[in-house]
Amino acid sequence: MKKIINRRNFIKSLGLLTLAPVIQSCESSITGYTEGTPRERPVTPRVDILLDGTEEEIAAKIQDKHTVLQELYDNPGKELTLGFLQDRNYNVLKITFIKDTLASYPHLRLVNSKTNEVANLLWGRDGVYPTIKFVDDAGNVIIRNGKALEFPIKISEKLNKINSPVDWIIMGIKVFAVALLLWIGFSIAKYVASALAFIAFNAMAIGLVLAGLGIIVELIQWILNRTNIQFDDITDFFRNSIAGIVNTLLDVVNYVINYFSGI
């Protein structure tokens, strides 16, 4: 039986968890500090959103950011920069929408400033389930630790179906968090990874809805019909209370821990 992590114990779990043999060293995933090394304060980057602090502080930083994500979609090439601690220093994830030959719709693009690696985020299909996939600039699905970064978005088999757009959005954030950790590395706090996934997947969802309003793409229309997702379903996540966002992020953390502990 999967163990459910509660708010009281999540920080302890993040610090002590060994996810799986495929995961590289994850020492001090919250602060980046390794015992035996001097504590040096990393240089704080100039970014649009700095994801550090308590869970409430991080939730406050992503609250009401749906307008920022819509501006990204409306202005292809405009970047949103997200700072976070990784390997004892700050890293920056750059997020932008672009139009290119990889897709017939504007799609999200991530750049890992630490490594200059690029991931293009595309929609796919696996039977009756939509998928998200991380592909390189040639359109090839990225492989990490022997795993292809394409994941179907489906809820628990116990429910057998998606009951609402909210269910689908939450599962999309969870799946995205798993893919993001595999792509960017495990030496970041899982709570921060869930916040990054919250922003990035909802950006994809906003792009999905807006593309469906103005672009006739069979795959896009199929996903919209399958999920019944509306723009208000997404914005409601960002208009939620700080406590509500915290609970969503903790739910994502729990999913990530259970996912990797089951490998």
> In the chain, how many H helices and how many E strands?
8, 9
Q: Which two tokens stand for residue 224?
A: 């919209």
Average pLDDT of the chain, as a whole number: 85
pLDDT of residue 163: 66
CA-wise closest residue to 161 among 135, 201, 128:
128
Q: What is the mean pLDDT of residues 138-144?
A: 97
If one counts every other C-beta atom within 10 angstroms of the C-beta of residue 78, the result is 13
Q: What are phi and psi of 141, to 5 degrees?
A: -60, 130
d(CA 179, CA 120): 12
Q: Which two tokens stand for residue 157?
A: 């088999």
Q: Which two tokens stand for residue 211?
A: 């593309």
User: How many percent of the chain have pLDDT more than 70?
Assistant: 81
Residues with Cβ < 8 Å from 249, sequence gap 6 or more?
Answer: 55, 58, 59, 191, 194, 195, 198
Q: Which two tokens stand for residue 104?
A: 């017939």
For the chain, the structural domain boundaries read 18-261
Scanning the structure block, which residue is given the tokens 């976070």?
84
Q: What is the pLDDT of residues 106-120, one digit of tens each?
A: 999 999 999 999 999
Residue 130 near residue 119 (C-beta atoms within 8 A)? no
Is residue 22 scored above 80 in pLDDT? no
Q: Please, where are the H alpha helices in the chain?
A: 10-16, 55-62, 66-74, 165-184, 190-214, 218-227, 231-238, 242-261
Q: What is the pTM of this model?
A: 0.84
pLDDT of residue 202: 97
pLDDT of residue 39: 60
pLDDT of residue 263: 65
Higher model confidence: residue 55 or residue 214?
Answer: 55
For the chain, the farthest-separated pair of C-alpha atoms sits apart, in whole angstroms, at 58
Q: Which two tokens stand for residue 150?
A: 């394409």
Q: What is the pLDDT of residues 151-180, one digit of tens each?
A: 999 865 554 454 689 999 999 999 999 999
Is residue 191 scored above 60 in pLDDT? yes
Q: What is the mean pLDDT of residues 54-75?
A: 96
